[in-house]
Structure 1
Amino acid sequence: MSYYLQYLVTPADSEGRYIQPETLHAVVTLEHSVICGEKFYATVTLPKTVSEWVGTCMRRVKINETVYAQLRDVILRLMVYYNLGIEATDPHIPEMQTGEGLLDIVTLGNLCLFLSALENFAALNYPKANSTLPKARRAYLDLIYQLCKNYSLVLLSNEESTYSYEELFHHSLGSHDIAKFAKSSAVYFACSLIMSARKAAGWR
């Protein structure tokens, strides 16, 4: 059995402190950022991170200086963490009531859903699947269910800068079911993977 000590360090008392390389740690900032090990991962770049991960798996070209085992663990833990804060005002969790925040969650969720297929395709020597991946998938599906139950996706035109509640409720473009949107996104993601796999055959 392994043991570890947990410390909380604030910026005020962090000067002059050092940690050993690869020490498990996380740093959360006002810019929605997470640091793990020696590598820096910004959650505001989730779509780019997902895109780079897919490209790496398809082309089998590793991103420079990226520790994939750590990044994989961070991605899965972020999904579980976001699910815990759906109703919270935590500034480090994407605002799921906005279009940008919802897209971040769906993007990350798609990667969690198809992560095992990507890893099998890439053979990048990832650790064996553990309980974190099923937890992340369940967290994403539960998150979409909660969002679908409490919110609707409304597409607005650019003609008006603001809308009242009544105007939004009766908007001519209508509202869309978030679960259907997430499902359509997953189908599109899967189709993109198939097309990328076909293209990747010519890269090798």
Structure 2
Amino acid sequence: MDLGADDVQPIKVDSLHAKASPMPNGAGEAFQTEMQRAATYLVPKRGTYDLGDLVDRANETFSPEVRGVIGAVANEEYVNAGRCFAFGLFTASGYHCCRAVEAVLREYFRLFTGKAIKGTEQWGEMIGGLEKCSGSLIPEPKTLGHIRHVKDFDRNPLSHVRAVLDETDADILLAASKVAITAMAAEIHKKHLTGAPVLELVKADGSA
């Protein structure tokens, strides 16, 4: 049965209170007062994403193996990206996506080049260093292409103060950052460059 506009009625706190079980010692009145002052939010569905996953578990889009490789910093940043996307904070979501990629990129750079991470490296500097690698530990050109794509089309534009992302932009960046992160994690795992979760050196680094 289709419902017209006249069939949909707003939910009132009074009606909820009337239908609820009796509360002792004036607790019902206190509850009603609190509910009238409480801030409530309607979060719309975003594409085909599960809303609960977006708000709390966006990093579960990665396999357990990938989550174990990329470490706590990247996992947390991607969770924040998903949460911001869910609540319509699309530009903030983009920032967190880029921070997640950068967190993995720093360790990816260290593992392939053997250079210590200072925390001040620029994306271009790290990509350039990775492109100069030689010998048996050479990053996949396809992976570097994914990283450079995020840098050129997302991270660099977002560095400008007036940059604003809409829902489509943020959705694309969520996907692009997932691809770049997964590709780096797959190489790290495949080449056995580390026997423990990466990013141990930058867990407390606010610049990651």
* TM exceeding 0.5: no
Higher percent of residues as strand: 1
Q: Taking structure 1 as the reference length, what is the TM-score of the superposition?
A: 0.23
